[in-house]
Amino acid sequence: MFRRKAMLFAMTALASAGFISWTAAADLEIGSKAPDFKAMGVDGKEYSLASIKEAKATVIAFTSNRCPVAIAYEDRFIEFQKKYANKDVKFIAINVNSSEDLNAMKERAEEKGFNFPYSYDVTGDSARAFGAKVTPHLFVLDSNGLLAYQGAFDDKQREPSVSYIEKAVDAVLAGDKPEVTFTKAFGCFIKPNRK
């Protein structure tokens, strides 16, 4: 009985803190057209699917200023962008959390030296349309805007051995379909403004 209560308490604490994996089935099917979105960048530009349509591959990362898991991945996002910038691959980060704002995001982008667009969707509609549940949650699109992969950036937060994003992008650039098209995204729950 004590063990059961302890487990229930631990699960409740994890859920309220927002640290839990999302294990539900994907909302968007692989091969389906990615939904459009609108988000204001920290650079003052508005981003949408149309603004990144010229790329051979696009990575959309739902992320956050405050989530420890998302923060742990910021350096990986920066390194990914460095590696793929000359391969016609676009990387865009979108924040939809209602408790955050563009000014704090600008400060974070400058502090970390983000080399990719970091944008804010105040409506949260982009996360709803993509089915993003946690930060970070990533989506890889091919040159036609079709979903090729969604899920985690890599296989584990500490000492990863497989980069799902790199494998998916490499496959798309080669004109192939990724071997792995869906993984569990893990991180903090997304909390967008209510409709």
Domain containing residue 178: CATH number? 3.40.30.10
Q: Does residue 195 form part of some domain?
A: no
Q: Does residue 14 form part of some domain?
A: no
Which has more pLDDT, 143 or 12? 143
* Beta carbons of 58 and 148 less than 8 angstroms apart: no
Whole domain around residue 95: which residue ranges? Answer: 19-189
Taking every pair of C-alpha atoms in the chain, what is the biggest distance, in angstroms?
58
Number of domains forming the structure of the chain: 1
Q: Does residue 12 form part of some domain?
A: no
Q: Does residue 194 form part of some domain?
A: no
Q: Tell me which amino acid residue 118 is.
A: Y
- Span 163-168, average pLDDT: 98
User: For 94-130, how does the pLDDT look when each residue is reduced to its tens digit (9 = 90+)?
Assistant: 999 999 999 999 999 999 999 999 999 999 999 999 9
Q: Does residue 10 form part of some domain?
A: no
* Beta carbons of 27 and 130 less than 8 angstroms apart: yes
Q: Does residue 9 form part of some domain?
A: no
What 106-113 contacts at long range (C-beta under 8 Å, 24+ apart), as own/partner pairs, is 106/42, 108/65, 109/42, 112/74, 112/75, 112/78, 113/78
* Beta carbons of 68 and 173 less than 8 angstroms apart: no
How many whole angstroms separate alpha carbon 137 and alpha carbon 70? 9
Q: Does residue 141 form part of some domain?
A: yes
How many whole angstroms separate alpha carbon 162 and alpha carbon 140? 16
> What pLDDT is attached to residue 9?
39
| Phi-psi region at 174: left, alpha or beta (left = phi > 0; alpha = psi -120 to 50) | alpha
- CA atoms 73, 78, 81, 82: torsion sign: negative
Q: Does residue 182 form part of some domain?
A: yes
Instruction: Identify which of 3, 146, 128 has the alpha carbon closest to the alpha carbon of residue 137.
Output: 128
Residue 50 banded pLDDT, cuts 50, 70, 90: confident
